[in-house]
Amino acid sequence: MTVRVERDKASGVAVVTLDRERKHNAIDLATAAELASVWREFRSADDVRAVVLTGAGRAAFCTGIDRGVEVPQPSSPYSVDDPLVAIGPKANDLWKPVIAAVNGMACGGAFYLLGESEFIVSSRAATYFDPHTTYGMVSAYEAVYMAQRMPFGEAARMSLMGTAERLSARRAYEIGLVSELAGPDELLPAALRAARTLAGCPTEAVQGTVRALWSAKQAALQQALAQAPALISLGNLSPERQAGLFAGRGRAPEPRIR
């Protein structure tokens, strides 16, 4: 299993941990399936009233899709099979609150998860970036999710600058992407404090509020995400050209932390 789930029935809080520390918690197909299964199970688990989502270790929360994953694509330019499209709680119709506890790097496909969390508690050592453009890929789903959570100029800069820049936890907090900063040792306790508060309220009211909050932006979100497959199909380089760009990662200059 690559997703670890711990439940505290007394508090009503579950902790979901991406458990691929040696892979910087990158998501392979098994992990994607496990995440979807966990969210759907929580829908009918009355002992789970709030969730904390985090990654194993301190190096990374999640670094997106595992580059070793092969996903055959249809020949039509109007269709893209995205293995991450159903990894988030909202994609699986879960309306219980999810708090992301971000430790280390959060990049690329991590934004599918951050984009569907209610709010983010971040380690002060965390960084946020989107490598897509550097490697000849369109940031579509990720950019859409972040454009809904960040000022447009900040989302655009992060999506376009690729690996040249990383957003510091402090800057993420200043622009409202992150709601609370904590030291690495205090990250999980801080997220759990908030989750226990949410779990202690009547769950019907909490879930209704979560649903109301998302209804405020969901129409625009769905319209924007509907454009993603065609944009990816048109703009992505071939896998061979992408592989050539990835091969040069070790020669790239150190990213600027902003």
DSSP label at residue 27: B
For residue 33, the model assigns a pLDDT of 96
Q: Which long-range contacts (CB under 8 A, 24 or more apart) does 246-250 make?
A: 246/67, 246/135, 249/163
The parts of the chain modelled with pLDDT lower than 70 are 77, 250
Instruction: Please say whether the beta carbons of 5 and 57 come within 8 A.
Output: no
Contacts of 242 (CB under 8 A, 6+ apart): 135, 136, 137, 236
Question: Residue 130 has what pLDDT?
Answer: 96
Helical H segments across the chain, by residue range:
29-43, 110-115, 141-147, 152-161, 169-174, 187-200, 203-226, 228-235, 239-247
CB 61, CB 120: distance < 8 Å: no
Angle between helices 203-226 and 228-235 (to 10 degrees): 40
Which residue ranges form the domains of the chain, and what is each CATH number?
Answer: 3-203+227-247 (3.90.226.10)
How far apart, in Å, are the Cα atoms of 118 and each of 2, 69, 94, 206? 23, 28, 12, 11
Residue 239 pLDDT: 78
CA distance 57 to 54: 9
Cβ count near 126 (within 10 Å): 28
Q: pTM of this prediction? A: 0.89
d(CA 203, CA 109): 30
pLDDT of 15? 98
Contact (Cβ atoms closer than 8 angstroms) between residue 95 and residue 210:
yes
pLDDT at 48: 98
By the 10 Å C-beta count (0-12 exposed, 13-18 middle, 19+ buried), 204 is classed as exposed
Token digits for 144? 């859409």
